[in-house]
Amino acid sequence: MRVLVTGASGMLGRATATALAQRGDEVTVLQRRSAGLPFREVLGDVADGGTVARAVEGQDAVLHLAAKVDVTGRWAEYVRANVAGTRTVVAACRRAGVGRLVHVSSPSVAHGGSALVGVGAGPADPERARGHYSRSKATAELDALAADSPSLAVLVVRPHLVWGPGDTQLVGRIVERARSGRLPLIGSGTALIDTTYTCPTETAGWWSTPAPSPPTTPGPAPRPCWSPTSTSTTSSRTR
């Protein structure tokens, strides 16, 4: 199968592209700058129609991971990367006759601030989503799902707190601070949290299995938020 992966320079995108190649797929990656990956690269902006059209041409499936995931930034930046980028990918898939689109979203698109324990995956809601990232991803998810049709099958996945080999983002920094005793524990530390571990072997099955109902992301059972670091660290406690 010929597969395009957008955003392959990130941790999840890199693991995904590697997993697909290892199972025998012909992988193309779309990203802004070369990451030295051993795949055919198309370099450019995911919101640029010409660039995306070149990348999508001839593909059987597209895995859309490219996004602005920073917690700070101007609203216009999130709109361009997350909303316009998704719309550009969807339009290119339709024109090129791509049969399958997997859109990587976020649980935050359906989170309005209350605790979510033992509940299914609610619909994306840009009005209730909190922050530029969540609002833009909620809009993008709705746009992607609206494109689902007999000719273009659309699947949305919502991995939460992704971590694994090559992690340079949130989880890596949390572990480093905890190990150095610089991470305060607020409250009891017993609140449950769901995480998604990613590496090529773990990621390989995501894209070939039928979507469950309601859609969920494979991963371990939720665990107390302090458990990933508490066994190997000593940190200060704040109440």
Q: Which of 133, 163, 207, 226 is catalytic?
A: 133
**Measured between alpha carbons, how far is 149 from 98 in angstroms, rounded to an integer?**
11
User: Nearest 5 degrees, angle CA 29-CA 155-CA 28?
Assistant: 10
Token output for 55: 């990348």
**Measured between alpha carbons, how far is 19 from 179 in angstroms, rounded to an integer?**
31
**Measured between alpha carbons, how far is 37 from 39 in angstroms, rounded to an integer?**
6
Q: Is 186 helix (H, G, I), strand (E, B) or coil?
A: strand
Radius of gyration of the chain (CA): 18
The question of whether 133 is a catalytic residue gets the answer: yes
152: left (phi over 0), alpha (psi -120 to 50) or beta: beta
Give the helix/strand (H/E) hosting 104.
strand 100-104
How far is the CA of 114 from the CAs of 4, 22, 110, 119, in angstroms? 36, 40, 10, 12
Peptide bond into 214 cis (omega under 30): yes
- Find tokens 């995306």 and name the residue: 52
Residues annotated as catalytic (active site), given as ranges: 133
